[in-house]
Amino acid sequence: MLISEELNKAFNEEIGRELFASHQYIAIASYFDGRALKKLAEMFFKQSEEEREHAMKFVHYLNDVNGKVEIPAVQAPKNDFQSAEEAVRLALEWELEVTKHINDLMTLAIEQKDYAAQEFLDWFVKEQVEEVSTMQDLLQIVQQVGEHYLIMVEAYLSHGGGG
């Protein structure tokens, strides 16, 4: 095994967080799809796929370093939202939570002098900056236009906004 048991366990926990995020984004996308906000739905369906890809990166890394992959149970996502702002705020809060955990993983890898894990996690550190920025921008736009003018958010996304 080229990874410590502690870091291996923490990576498995991150797989669970990434899979949960994927499920949460499907729920958010479905909320927007049900409101005929197709661009917002498309954005969150895409985000869901990206989160699954993130989980798979951890799976492949653990396999590459002869670690043990243990896929954790994933809790059910929130499915009901009172507003677009609530849905986007939840996405931002989750990205901030994931960022904290990625930073904690990097700290652990540094403490253990696991240079391969640090190199692997470096991509995630950078990715989280982008993910948080995208969700902060989207939340700000949703707040500015208000619930009755979400079609303007659709236009924004149609013209390349939102990452």
3-state secondary structure 94-135: HHHHHHHHHHHHHHHHHHCCCHHHHHHHHHHHHHHHHHHHHH
Please state the domain extents for the chain: 5-158
149: pLDDT strictly greater than 80: no
pLDDT bucket at 30, cuts 50 / 70 / 90? very high
Residues 78-112: tens digit of each pLDDT: 999 999 999 999 999 999 999 999 999 999 999 99
Q: How far is CA 24 from CA 54, 107, 136, 146, in A?
A: 14, 27, 17, 23
Residues 118-147: tens digit of each pLDDT: 999 999 999 999 999 999 999 998 998 887
pLDDT cut 70: percent of the chain above it: 98
Q: What is the reported pLDDT for 1?
A: 74
Considering only the top CATH level, what class is 5-158?
mainly alpha
Can you tell me the distance from the alpha carbon of 63 to that of 33, in angstroms, rounded to the nearest whole number? 37
- Running DSSP on this structure, what letter comes out for residue 148? G
